Amino acid sequence: MTGYIHSTESFGTVDGPGVRFVVFMQGCPMRCLYCHNPDTWQPMIGEQRTAQSLIDEYLSLKEFLKNGGITVTGGEPLMQIDFVTELFTLAKEHGIHTCIDTSGITFDPGNTKKFDKLMPLTDLVMLDIKHIDPARHKALTGQDNRNILAFAHYLADNGKDIWVRHVLVPNVTDDEVYLKRLGEFIAGLRTLRALDVLPYHTMAKAKYESLGIPYPLGDIPPATKEQAARARDVIMKALYDRLSHKS
């Protein structure tokens, strides 16, 4: 089996615990307005790699990958779930920590067979929740969020560690009402291990220009680290308030 790979990164430090080997996979059904990898949208293009070749590349670097492992991202890596399953099967033969950075958009609660096969091979899921409100999520990404939220519950119900990621975009996702709702939602995920609120940046503008794609967010300014920190505080307060109310 081969997978369509956009690129690999040898020393990733923001894609899971430790220093990691990051595999950027090709193809994504989402069209997030703030996407910084539009060159990964189209499926079935890019370099075709075997799972073994990626493991070999990891092993050639492992002495530098301190307390890390392999993270698959994209694009949307679970568009190629069979390939990820094969890759993680080989990874586990070498005792490698495995992580998926995903939007969860490909999850179907009515047909979890392939996910049931992959999850025992997966140590951590970094789940990107773009927006908690269904209508605003669709406006932001072109997709409904129902199955994404169902995936979050599926992960928790199966004891899978979750890191939630949320991008703070001025005038788009920095609404306190929805930040509180996000906090209340993730309070119900018993395997939540971390929350990252990431400030939106405009570094992808040049990439859009080179691809001949209009930049969707126009002149919306980047978010500051301070704004992201305040948003995280709002989410975490709502989370703790919900947990306190339950107890």
CATH number of the domain to which 16 belongs: 3.20.20.70
Contact 138, 191 (CB under 8 A): no
On average, the pLDDT of the chain sits at 96
pTM of the model: 0.96
Q: Which domain holds residue 69?
A: 2-246
Q: How many CB atoms lie within 10 A of CB 182?
A: 24
Q: Is the dihedral of CA 213, 218, 221, 223 positive or negative?
A: negative
pLDDT in tens, 220-239: 999 999 999 999 999 999 99
Residue 47: predicted pLDDT: 98
Beta pairing partners, 177: none
Position 131, amino acid = H
Nearest to residue 44, comparing CAs of 84, 73, 3, 11?
Answer: 3
pLDDT in tens, 176-197: 999 999 999 999 999 999 999 9
pLDDT in tens, 62-89: 998 889 999 999 999 999 999 999 999 9
How many structural domains does the chain have?
1
